[in-house]
Amino acid sequence: MNLQEKWNQVINKRERKKELEKLLTSLKEDITFAELNKVKEDEHAESRVDVLLKDLSEIESELNSLDNIEDEYQAVLKERIEFICANDNEAKQFIMGVEKAIAGLETELAELNKKASLLSNLKKKAEITLKQVKTEGLKLCYAKELINECNRVLKDAFNVKSASTKMPEVNELYLWKLYQTIDELDIDLKEKIQTLIPQIIELNMRREEHLDNYDG
C-alpha cells in the first residue's frame, strides 16, 4: 500500500467513526423509545428492542476498532508531510516558515510571561512602598500636631502674667510621645521638637516654683 492509499484509508476511517458516533446517539434514542413501548405491552416492541440492541452491539464493536484512529491519522500525516518536504521544495520552505513562526511565537509568549511576572512583582513593590509612604505621612502629620500642641501650651503658659493654680500643666504624656517620635521624624521636625522639649521642662520647673511661692 502506497502513501496515498494509506492516506485515503485513514481519512475514510475518521469519517466512518464520525458517522458511527451519530448513529450510536440516534440508536440509543430509538432503544429508549422501544423500551417505553415494551412497557405498554406492544406486541412488536420486544422484537424491535432485540434488533436495536444487536445493532448497538455491532456499532460499539466497530467504534472500538477505531479507537486508535487519531494516532494512526497523526502518524500518516507526519509521513505525508515528510514526503512532501522531500519532494516539493516550495512546500518544504513553507513548512519551515510555519515552524519558524511558531518558534517565534513561543519565544514571544515566554517574554510576555516574563514581563507579566515582572509587572506583578513591581505591583507588589509599589503597594508596599505606597503603604510605607502612607505610614510615614501619618507619622509626620502626628509629629506636626505634637509641635502645634507644644507651641499652644507654651504660648498659654507664657501668657499667664501672675502665678496661680490656673497656670496650665504640661501633660507628661506629651513629653513621652515626643521622645518616642523623635527618632522616626525628619531632621527639621527633630530640631523643632528638640528645641521645644527643654522649654517645656523649664516651664514645668517654673510652674512648680510659682506654685510653691503661691502656696507660701
pLDDT tens-place string over residues 68-90: 988 988 888 888 877 777 776 76
Same structural domain for residues 133 and 83? no
Cβ atoms of residues 190 and 182 within 8 Å: yes
98 falls within a domain: no
Nearest to 14 by CA among 79, 56, 71: 71
Q: What is the grid cell recorded at 126?
A: 509599589
Cβ atoms of residues 185 and 143 within 8 Å: yes
Same structural domain for residues 81 and 142? no
Q: Which of 87, 113, 143 is the last residue of a domain?
A: 87
The helix (H) or strand (E) run that includes residue 168 is none
Q: What is the grid cell recorded at 146?
A: 505634637
% pLDDT > 70, the chain: 54
100 falls within a domain: no
The rounded distance, in Å, linking the Cα atoms of 28 and 20 is 12
Specify the amino acid at residue 6: K
Tell me the HSE value of 25 on the side-chain side, using a 13 A CA sphere: 5
Encode pLDDT of 32-50 as tens digits.
877 776 655 656 666 777 7
Same structural domain for residues 201 and 143? yes
Query: In degrees, to the nearest 5, what angle opens at C-alpha 207 toward C-alphas 206 and 209?
Result: 65
pLDDT at 3: 80
Q: Which of 38, 55, 87 is the last residue of a domain?
A: 87
Q: How far is CA 83 from the centre of its chain?
A: 46
**pLDDT grade for 165, boundaries at 50, 70 and 90:** very low
Its pTM surpasses 0.75 = no
Same structural domain for residues 182 and 133? yes
107 falls within a domain: no
Q: What is the grid cell recorded at 82?
A: 515528510
Would you say the C-alpha torsion 29, 32, 36, 37 has a positive or negative sign?
Answer: positive
Q: Which of 87, 114, 136 is the last residue of a domain?
A: 87
Cβ atoms of residues 164 and 209 within 8 Å: no
Strands (E), 50-152: none
**pLDDT grade for 163, boundaries at 50, 70 and 90:** very low
Specify the amino acid at residue 193: I
Domain that residue 186 falls in: 128-215
Provide the number of structural domains found in the chain: 2
The helix (H) or strand (E) run that includes residue 66 is none
185 falls within a domain: yes
% pLDDT > 90, the chain: 2
Question: At which residue does the C-alpha cell 432503544 appear?
Answer: 31
204 falls within a domain: yes
108 falls within a domain: no
